[in-house]
Each structure stands twice: as structure tokens, then as C-alpha cells.
């Protein structure tokens, strides 16, 4: 919500009252103040216009997050603050932390001007953490230049105790630190974030970050708690301090996603390739092929390995400069006559519940092509298109196609569908964190609750997998959230012992298609155990266990939640 009305703080009311009754020479002097005096004071304050270049912003949420620092990630938020182009938002607040992890402090999210995190039009530029970490949002898909670049984060965090570890000092300094945050939405089409935190120990920490954003549209900013809370003190807008951005030259270019094989006679040697330029300041940007120069164009009328050389000759601000070059290779083949699945994918059985078509997992799949000269060769999955699986029980066929120069060739891959009992999350992996839950199940003292499910994931992050929430029946107390990837939070988690046998190098890539058995046990002594027994689609087995989670054994329920994955429960 955009607010530009000037609001006087309560201290102003105190000063006004003091001017009426606080003079020593008057002694005690009765004043017949009208009953609506405070209302009149507030009205005067509200009517006072902004002066100079400063526009004060009302803080509707002065305390952000639970004051015992129990607020989990993405559960407690500050107000939305709208920042027009050519304006700088200044925030001041006191940071409080559980002190357990570096990220249990302030977190900043910068978004498009949609003040509803659940809206389909809501999109993020980036999230920035206080511990010099962050990630990009979906605005990069709107405009590739909006891509997040962690290399552009700077910090001066010192090793004050000389033990070689800056992070224990960081956690100490951030506890009760006074934070001043400037988010400068420059008309140059960039946002510049500068955060200065001064600890009660006198240590001064400075973190900065910048990246491109819309130069015309407003941007929104808000703070997020994660085992932390904030006392908001000030919020105001002033003119941007950045009118000119220093230009930088490109230093390298890389091409990804280019076709490995192209039929003879097909002139499209670029396909769905993406060119990424890296600039001298460490930032990157995706460049459309129309802005590239192809200095070596392959002969697509003859067979064999071909080299494509591309060059780019513009600075970050679009000025012409000395060109940089990159290259990739491809194989020109005879036309494809037919396709055949020669190795079935790892996942051949899918559990489903909703009526939505299912995304086909190509891991392990091998498709072989027969060419016009009778030779055969494996076609990379990247050069094939795959249909979705119809949500219907029994045998189904997935259509696989290859777009050649003159025709499209197809084949099918058989799979089997089995209907489950219920589903958590969307089949297109769009489910955001803390938006899709199972029912709550009571776990009586001395008993256990077991869930058997199949998980399907985009396999892009460890946490795109099931999580267990332990809380009371009224959902007023959250004891702990424990994830499948050896991580959790909340007070109950702090007493737990976590053990697992994961191979982290292959954990993420094997989530999808896994059979997962989760057992929650109420030990009856105000502790609970949670164990995940996981069987990958390839048959490999692993476990994750949390022992001794602190709960109230007389009031314990559990539920499942997930993110960018979905689970089909079968028992």
C-alpha cells in the first residue's frame, strides 16, 4: 500500500503536552482539556504536509515477527513499502535474533508493485539476507537483465575476536543492532541497497547490493523474519542519490542450450540456445540472439561437426565497445526417419490424485534415432519434446517428438499410473512455501502417525521435498518444522538430534519419484521423534531422523507441507 501522508510520531504529542504543562514556574495548573484532544493532535499531525524532499511513511506494523524470535521463514512480514522511480526508501529498525544461525536476522525482498504475495501477478526481483547471501526471483524471467548476481554483494564483516571466523562475531553484533537500510530506486533502472548495522558492542557492519530493475514502474520492498523480529523505527522517502551509473565492459560470453544435433538442410543452428554475457563488475545478463553477431556460420548442407562463433560488442549500458567472442559445436546429421525408446526412464510408474496432466521425468531415458542413410545414434533429450502424462489410471503413453528440417518424427514411452488417496501441492511444481498442507493429524502420547507417499519434485533444491510440522491442536504453538534434508527450526528443533545417511552430491537430483515413509512418534515425555525412510526411484535407500524434538505430549498434532514439489499419499 503506497502511503505518502505525513504522520507525526507519538513523541510529538508528548512535546506538545509538555509545552502546556511542563514549565516549572507554573507549578500544578489544571487544564480543562477536551475529551477529543488526542484526536485533534492527530488531526493536526496528519494535516501537516511533507516539507522539503522528505516524505514520511506510516509504519502500520511496528513490531514485525514474534518477540520470542519463533517466527519461521515466510511467516512474518513488515509492511509493504512502495518505492517510485528516482526515490530512495530509508528504513530504520532494531534487529533481534534467535542467534542460532547467520540468517536468523533481517531479510529483504524487492518485488514488482503488486502488494499481495499470493497474487498471480506478484513477482520478485531478489531476496537479500543480512549474512551477505541472497537469490533471484521470477522477474528475471520477465526480463533477463533482472537476474540476481551474488557476486555483487559486498560486506565489511570483521573478525573482531581474532579466531578466524567472522560469523560468530556477526551473530553477536546483530543481536539488538540498530539497522539503517537505504533502498535507492534509481531512474537509471537500477536499485542500490546499502545496509548499515551498528551493534550494541559498537561494531559497524555494512552490506551493499545492486541490480537492474524497472526504471519506470514502482518497486515494492518488505522485510521477512526467520527466527528473528524487528522493532520498526523510521520509514521515509527522499530523492534518489544515484543519477549516473558507471558503465562496464563485457569480459566473456557463454552459450548454453544449443542443439547438439541438427538435421542437414535445417538452417536453425541456434535452436533454444541462450547467450549469457559476464561484465567486468561480475554481473551477468542474458542476450537475445538478435543482438549477437555470428562471426562463423556453419555449413548446414554437409554432414559433420560444425563450430558456431558468436560475438557481442555492447557495454552494460548499451554503448558499443570492443567485441568479445564465444563458440559452441554441433553435429549436422542426416534427416531422422524414426525414433525408438531404447532405455526406459528411471521412473516408469507414477502415483497421482488430481485431474491435472503430469510432467514426465526424463531421467535415465535413452532415445535412439534412425537416419535416412540407415545409421543410428542417440538423440539428446535436450533436442526432444515430451508430452505430459494423462491423469488416468493404468497404462499410458508419453509422446516424444523430434522436430526435423522438413517433418516432425514421434515415438512413445509407456508408463503406468496408480491413483493415490490424496495430494499435497501442484503437479506443475508451482506450490510456494507454506501454502499447501495436509490435514492435521493428532499424535496421542505414546503413539505414532505414519505417512506413506510418493514425492515428485522439480529437483532444483534440497528443500523441494516434504517437511513435517509439529504443533498443538489449536495451531497457536509451533513446536518445530523438520525437513527431509537434515534441517529445521523453532524451539523444539533446538533440542533435537539430527542424523542421516544422505549422499548430498545426489540428494537433489533423486527427490522426484521417491517413495517416502514418514513416522512421527510422540514419546510421551514431551519429546517426539520424526524419521524419514526414503527409497529413490532407482532403488537406493536413505534415512533422515530427528530424535528428541521438544513438544507438549498432551497436545501434539502433525501435518505435511512442501514447496515446488507435490506428494501423493498412498497410506
Query: Where is pLDDT greater, at 9 or 387?
Result: 387
Rounded Cα–Cα distance for residues 485 and 532 (Å)? 10
User: What is the pLDDT, as a whole number, of residue 537?
Assistant: 97
Q: Which residues of 39-63 are buried (b: 16+ CB within 10 A; e: fewer)?
A: eebbeebeeeeeeeeebbbebeeeb
254-294 confidence digits (pLDDT tens): 999 999 889 998 999 999 899 999 999 888 888 989 999 99
355-375 confidence digits (pLDDT tens): 999 999 999 999 999 999 999
- The pLDDT of 517-540, averaged and rounded, is 98
Rounded Cα–Cα distance for residues 110 and 94 (Å)? 20
200-216 confidence digits (pLDDT tens): 999 999 999 999 999 99
> What is the CATH code of the structural domain delimited by 50-239?
2.60.120
- Please, is 354 exposed, middle or buried when counting C-beta atoms within 10 Å of its C-beta (0-12, 13-18, 19+)? middle
Rounded Cα–Cα distance for residues 94 and 63 (Å)? 10
> What is the CATH code of the structural domain delimited by 336-419?
2.60.40.3630
Rounded Cα–Cα distance for residues 427 and 524 (Å)? 37
Q: What's the pLDDT band for 52 if we cut at 50, 70, 90?
A: low
User: What is the pLDDT, as a whole number, of residue 433?
Assistant: 87
Q: Which residues of 209-245 are buried (b: 16+ CB within 10 A; e: fewer)?
A: bbbbbbeeebbbbbbbbbbbbbbbeebbbeebebeee
Mean pLDDT score across all residues of the chain: 90
For residue 235, pLDDT over 80 is answered with yes
Nearest to 431 by CA among 559, 534, 567: 567
User: What is the pLDDT, as a whole number, of residue 27?
Assistant: 35
Cell, residue 268:
536453425
Instruction: For residue 510, give Cα distances in angstroms to 198, 365, 374, 424, 499.
Output: 44, 15, 36, 19, 19
For residue 142, pLDDT over 50 is answered with yes
> What is the CATH code of the structural domain delimited by 250-333?
2.60.40
Residue 377 near residue 444 (C-beta atoms within 8 A): no
Going from N- to C-terminal start, the domains of the chain cover 1-49, 50-239, 250-333, 336-419, 423-569
Cell, residue 210:
545492486
User: What is the pLDDT, as a whole number, of residue 50?
Assistant: 52
- The pLDDT of 386-404, averaged and rounded, is 96
Q: Are domains 50-239 and 423-569 of this chain identical in fold?
A: yes
User: What is the pLDDT, as a whole number, of residue 25?
Assistant: 35
Percent of the chain's residues with pLDDT above 70? 91
- Among 18-22, 414-418, 433-437, the minimum mean pLDDT is found in 18-22
In this prediction the pTM is 0.67
CATH architecture entry for 423-569: Sandwich (2.60)
- The pLDDT of 464-482, averaged and rounded, is 95
Q: What's the pLDDT band for 318 if we cut at 50, 70, 90?
A: confident
Amino acid at each position: 500500500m503506497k502511503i505518502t501522508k505525513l504522520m507525526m510520531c507519538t513523541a510529538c504529542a508528548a512535546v506538545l503536552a509538555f509545552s502546556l504543562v511542563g514549565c516549572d514556574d507554573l507549578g500544578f495548573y489544571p487544564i480543562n482539556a477536551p475529551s477529543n484532544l488526542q484526536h485533534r493532535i492527530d488531526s493536526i499531525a496528519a494535516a501537516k504536509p511533507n516539507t522539503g524532499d522528505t516524505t514520511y511513511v506510516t509504519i502500520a506494523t511496528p513490531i514485525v515477527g514474534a518477540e520470542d524470535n519463533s517466527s519461521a521463514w515466510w511467516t512474518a512480514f513488515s509492511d509493504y513499502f512502495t518505492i517510485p522511480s528516482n526515490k530512495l526508501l530509508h528504513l530504520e529498525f532494531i534487529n533481534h535474533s534467535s542467534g542460532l544461525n547467520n540468517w536468523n536476522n533481517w531479510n529483504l525482498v524487492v518485488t514488482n508493485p503488486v502488494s499481495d504475495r499470493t497474487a498471480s501477478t506478484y513477482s520478485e526481483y531478489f531476496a537479500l539476507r543480512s549474512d551477505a547471501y541472497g537469490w533471484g526471483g521470477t522477474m528475471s524471467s520477465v526480463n533477463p537483465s533482472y537476474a540476481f548476481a551474488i557476486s555483487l554483494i559486498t560486506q565489511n564483516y570483521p573478525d573482531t575476536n581474532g579466531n578466524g571466523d567472522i560469523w560468530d562475531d556477526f551473530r553477536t553484533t546483530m543481536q539488538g543492532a540498530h539497522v539503517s537500510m537505504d533502498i535507492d530506486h534509481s531512474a537509471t533502472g537500477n536499485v542500490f541497497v546499502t545496509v548499515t548495522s551498528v551493534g550494541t558492542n559498537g561494531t559497524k557492519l555494512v552490506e551493499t547490493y545492486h541490480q537492474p530493475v524497472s526504471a519506470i514502474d514502482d518497486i515494492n520492498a518488505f522485510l521477512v523474519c526467520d527466527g528473528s523480529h524487528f522493532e520498526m523505527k523510521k520509514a521515509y522517502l527522499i530523492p534518489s542519490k544515484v543519477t549516473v551509473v558507471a558503465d562496464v565492459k563485457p569480459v566473456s560470453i557463454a552459450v548454453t542450450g544449443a542443439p547438439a544435433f541438427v538435421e542437414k538442410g535445417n538452417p536453425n543452428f541456434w535452436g533454444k540456445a541462450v547467450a549469457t554475457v559476464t561484465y567486468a563488475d561480475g554481473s551477468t545478463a542474458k542476450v537475445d540472439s538478435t543482438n549477437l553477431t555470428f562471426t562463423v556460420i556453419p555449413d548446414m548442407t554437409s554432414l559433420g561437426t560444425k563450430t558456431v562463433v558468436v560475438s557481442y560488442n555492447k557495454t552494460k549500458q548499451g554503448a558499443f565497445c570492443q567485441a568479445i567472442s564465444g563458440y559452441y559445436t554441433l553435429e549436422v546429421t542426416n534427416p531422422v526417419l524414426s525414433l525408438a525408446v531404447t532405455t526406459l526412464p528411471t521412473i516408469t510408474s507414477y502415483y497421482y490424485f488430481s485431474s491435472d496432466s503430469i510432467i514426465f521425468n526424463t531421467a535415465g531415458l535413452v532415445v535412439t534415432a534412425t537416419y535416412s542413410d540407415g545409421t543410428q545414434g542417440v538423440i539428446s533429450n535436450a533436442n526432444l519434446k515430451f508430452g505430459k502424462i494423462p491423469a488416468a489410471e493404468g497404462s499410458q503413453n508419453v509422446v516424444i517428438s523430434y522436430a526435423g528440417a522438413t517433418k516432425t518424427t514421434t515415438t512413445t514411452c509407456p508408463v503406468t499410473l496408480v491413483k493415490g488417496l490424496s495430494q499435497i501441492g501442484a503437479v506443475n511444481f508451482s506450490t510456494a512455501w507454506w501454502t499447501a498442507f495436509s490435514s492435521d493429524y493428532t499424535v496421542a502420547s505414546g503413539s505414532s502417525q505414519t505417512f506413506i507417499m510418493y514425492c515428485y519434485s522439480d529437483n532444483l533444491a534440497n528443500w523441494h521435498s516434504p517437511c513435517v510440522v509439529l504443533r498443538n491442536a489449536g495451531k497457536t504453538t509451533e513446536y518445530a518444522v523438520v525437513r527431509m534434508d537434515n534441517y529445521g527450526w523453532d524451539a523444539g528443533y533446538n533440542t533435537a538430534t539430527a542424523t542421516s545417511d544422505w549422499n548430498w552430491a545426489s540428494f537433489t537430483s533423486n527427490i522426484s519419484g521417491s517413495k517416502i515413509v514418514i513416522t512421527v512418534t510422540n514419546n510421551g515425555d514431551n519429546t517426539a521423534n520424526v524419521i524419514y525412510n526414503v527409497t529413490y526411484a532407482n532403488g537406493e535407500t536413505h534415512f533422515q531422523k530427528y530424535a528428541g524434538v521438544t513438544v507438549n505430549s498432551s497436545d501434539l498434532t502433525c501435518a505435511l507441507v512442501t514447496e515446488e514439489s507435490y506428494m501423493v499419499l498412498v497410506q
